[in-house]
A and B are shown apart, each in its own frame.
Chain A
């Protein structure tokens, strides 16, 4: 029997909504999968596409990006800007073969502790089903091998 694949997932979240939602999940003692590592940022507007690429380079099998619901941004419209960027970046990743299934976006408010827990579980499960991001990890491995020929 093969061992259950434990995907590595990196989440970039804003501190005002999703990070607070994650805290709420904690204070509510909800249980969820331990596969996600959170990077806290002031706002989704701060989340640059470069972060996602670097998470992949660090071997992530999936990436989650999350912030305040539209209209709820602490900085009034950081999340609106983020939303556009994500849409474009997501299409770009899709076009270059990085499946949108691996890079997920969500809105989670400070009040949605249970949504956070559920989302982490479902994202973990989804990425687990997709399996390791072998194609990308192969590229990473190549950088460590000497030049051929």
Chain B
């Protein structure tokens, strides 16, 4: 005979203001099988939980229903309380009368009626709950880090330095990501490559890190602790086991006029190339689309120049299958396509450039060896206008969010320019200066006060060319009038957006993303580095725009999550898994096809003499993730899902 306890939480006024909790408690008290039905101000509080535990012991309850906030909030809390009171934690159900009732309805009477239905339905469900035990699954102690930018490197190094294996996958020929492109970094103005390249080298040489560059994640199967990942090794046409990175081939390559991606189109590269001088690994790849041999069938200059026979035009993509326990996604960002701002003339006027291009100009290793020169004529600009929020915080054309880093790097650009071009003038159009961060506001103040950056609060409406000069028309909202600034160069602080293939990639890994394609954290405040999928963690700008310190901090946080996961040999999982009734199973194997996890196997049923009687489905509890797709497929109703059994759901519906 069921003895159910019903605990109705006021949640302060959150529930009690709309739902008549006293009436609800009284009604539930009269419901068959309910042994105790009480209300209280905050059941999630310590005394609240204690009262639940006391009631479980005193009334010898066989199940409890907490009518309170969403199970997503406190299911775990009350399950734990159950366990402490000696009741199987899975004999606890939550009736969500806050998020889905008191908060969303205005009519008190109807809200109370709905709360009754919700609670009664949960009482009927919990009567049919079973004792469940968590499932233990083994953990593969090997992490996959996707992305070789600063976030990925940090995560990989932190995990590897703690003694765990890491596979680092980078889709470009070299590690480095965006940070390798930067000149100096705010707020310290230390050289980006000076701090980046040692980390790259350390990563490449680390005994616990397996580095896979020019590689992409092809598919991810499995689940936390037990992912099966397939990596596509794109063909470099250079045998990495032979190549020493001498660079002879690069020198000999006749296709020299290819726009360099690394230099954002400001520099040139060859068809066989390393993205930049400090590339790690320092081994070239052949860009098939630009290679003369691949286009015309003649050339092979690189092959001829290579004394080590490292060039192999026959090379094919290869696949590597990995067993992985945890995944860190650090796939970074890209900058928004500036074409959406036609009025700024990007692409039309060569001296309108992006902030990232400015970084390349300012970089000592860049195409101008660190001198700020106009792309059009190679002259030093005397006047530079910076336009902030060129895409960010602009719901009409760009993106609604703030890209977070532009205020700071624009201030940095103004400073670098001032340091490099003495007497040069800078104007910065801005909406707000957002400089929250250690040393950040001081930094922008320095730009204004020491390096004489002239900040104009307002937006730019148009950029045009007149007599070889760029005319920038904007508004100074503080003065309340339009201004036109004559400039030699205009730098756009373009928005940071997700990688072009971010959404598809999220689907490959099976994680959630927001409307833009940034990856969703499991909880913005409490689980900011976990994705919605267990065992997959998020680091860096793939989650939202971030600067280097934040990316690094988040990367280290993911490392600690991975290490926590790897600290155990086995993992405890929710016992919500499918089970099969072998007596009634007809062996049609529809479930095998329907299962997203290949968790269903064929099992032989034999009689005592060993004769095969039939084959039935067997659900591997380690692989089953508990979606229940097989259960609703099963025509003979042989499959069922623990925690959401047919009986439970039937009762739940019938209780409504």
Is B a genuine binding partner of A? yes
- A-side residues, CB < 8 A to B, are 6, 10, 15-16, 19-20, 22-23, 25-27, 29-32, 34, 37-43, 45-49, 51, 54-55, 58, 71-78, 81-82, 85, 109-111, 117
Which residues of the other chain, A, contact B533 by a CB distance below 8 angstroms? 74
Q: Do A46 and B656 touch (CB < 8 A)?
A: no
Nearest-Cβ distance from residue A99 to partner chain B, whole angstroms: 20
With A42-B628, A74-B533, A81-B633 in contact, do A34 and B110 touch (Cβ < 8 Å)? yes
Which residues of the other chain, B, contact A34 by a CB distance below 8 angstroms? 101, 104-105, 107, 110-111, 113-114
**Listed A/B pairs (21) with beta-carbon separation below 8 Å:** A23-B99, A27-B103, A29-B104, A38-B118, A39-B649, A40-B96, A42-B626, A45-B628, A46-B628, A46-B631, A46-B641, A49-B632, A51-B653, A55-B656, A58-B653, A58-B654, A73-B627, A110-B512, A111-B514, A111-B515, A117-B104
Nearest-Cβ distance from residue B69 to partner chain A, whole angstroms: 9
Q: Do A22 and B626 touch (CB < 8 A)?
A: no
Q: Do A42 and B641 touch (CB < 8 A)?
A: yes
B454 interface residue (CB < 8 Å to A): no
Most buried by A among B105, B113, B515: B105
Q: Do A39 and B100 touch (CB < 8 A)?
A: no
Mark contacts of B322-358 with chain A using CB atoms, 8 A cut-off: 1 yes-contact digit, 0 otherwise.
0000000000000000000000000000000000000
Q: Do B649 and A26 touch (CB < 8 A)?
A: no
B424 interface residue (CB < 8 Å to A): no
Residue of A nearest to B652 (CB): A39
**Distance in angstroms between the alpha carbons of A48 and B626 in the assembled complex:** 15
Nearest-Cβ distance from residue A67 to partner chain B, whole angstroms: 11
Q: Do B632 and A10 touch (CB < 8 A)?
A: no
Q: Name the 6 nearest CB pairs between A and B, nearest first.
A: A26-B99, A46-B628, A45-B629, A75-B627, A48-B632, A43-B627
Q: Do A23 and B72 touch (CB < 8 A)?
A: yes
B188 interface residue (CB < 8 Å to A): no
Segment 611-656 of B: residues with Cβ below 8 Å from A: 625-629, 631-633, 641, 643-644, 646, 649-650, 652-654, 656
Segment 84-113 of B: residues with Cβ below 8 Å from A: 96, 98-101, 103-107, 110-111, 113
Which residues of the other chain, B, contact A109 by a CB distance below 8 angstroms? 512
Q: Do A51 and B649 touch (CB < 8 A)?
A: yes
B: contact size bracket: 35 or more
B586 interface residue (CB < 8 Å to A): no
Q: Do B532 and A22 touch (CB < 8 A)?
A: no
**Distance in angstroms between the alpha carbons of A6 and B105 in the assembled complex:** 14
Which residues of the other chain, A, contact B121 by a CB distance below 8 angstroms? 37, 39
- B-side residues, CB < 8 A to A, are 70-72, 96, 98-101, 103-107, 110-111, 113-114, 117-118, 121, 503, 507, 510, 512, 514-515, 520, 532-533, 576, 594, 596-597, 625-629, 631-633, 641, 643-644, 646, 649-650, 652-654, 656
Q: Do B644 and A78 touch (CB < 8 A)?
A: no
Partner of A71, one of B104, B507, B520, B654: B507
Which residues of the other chain, A, contact B650 by a CB distance below 8 angstroms? 54
Which residues of the other chain, B, contact A58 by a CB distance below 8 angstroms? 653-654, 656
With A26-B98, A37-B121, A51-B649 in contact, do A72 and B512 touch (Cβ < 8 Å)? yes
Which residues of the other chain, A, contact B629 by a CB distance below 8 angstroms? 43, 45-46, 75, 77-78, 81-82
Q: Do A54 and B532 touch (CB < 8 A)?
A: no
**Distance in angstroms between the alpha carbons of A34 and B105 in the assembled complex:** 6
Which residues of the other chain, B, contact A26 by a CB distance below 8 angstroms? 70, 98-100, 103-104
Q: Do B656 and A37 touch (CB < 8 A)?
A: yes
Residue of A nearest to B113 (CB): A34
Q: Do A43 and B628 touch (CB < 8 A)?
A: yes
Q: Do A38 and B627 touch (CB < 8 A)?
A: no
Residue of A nearest to B654 (CB): A58
**Distance in angstroms between the alpha carbons of A117 and B649 in the assembled complex:** 24
Which residues of the other chain, A, contact B627 by a CB distance below 8 angstroms? 42-43, 45-46, 73-75, 78
Q: Do A45 and B632 touch (CB < 8 A)?
A: yes
**Distance in angstroms between the alpha carbons of A30 and B104 in the assembled complex:** 6
With A23-B70, A47-B632, A71-B507 in contact, do A42 and B576 touch (Cβ < 8 Å)? yes
Residue of B nearest to A110 (CB): B512
Residue of A nearest to B512 (CB): A72
Partner of A25, one of B104, B503, B532: B104
Q: Do A22 and B99 touch (CB < 8 A)?
A: yes
**Distance in angstroms between the alpha carbons of A55 and B594 in the assembled complex:** 25
Which residues of the other chain, B, contact A71 by a CB distance below 8 angstroms? 503, 507
Which residues of the other chain, A, contact B643 by a CB distance below 8 angstroms? 42
Residue of B nearest to A6 (CB): B110
Which residues of the other chain, A, contact B101 by a CB distance below 8 angstroms? 34
Which residues of the other chain, A, contact B104 by a CB distance below 8 angstroms? 25-26, 29-32, 34, 117
With A31-B106, A47-B632 in contact, do A41 and B596 touch (Cβ < 8 Å)? no
Residue of B nearest to A45 (CB): B629
**Distance in angstroms between the alpha carbons of A98 and B422 in the assembled complex:** 80
With A16-B532, A71-B507, A72-B512 in contact, do A55 and B653 touch (Cβ < 8 Å)? yes
Which residues of the other chain, A, contact B576 by a CB distance below 8 angstroms? 42
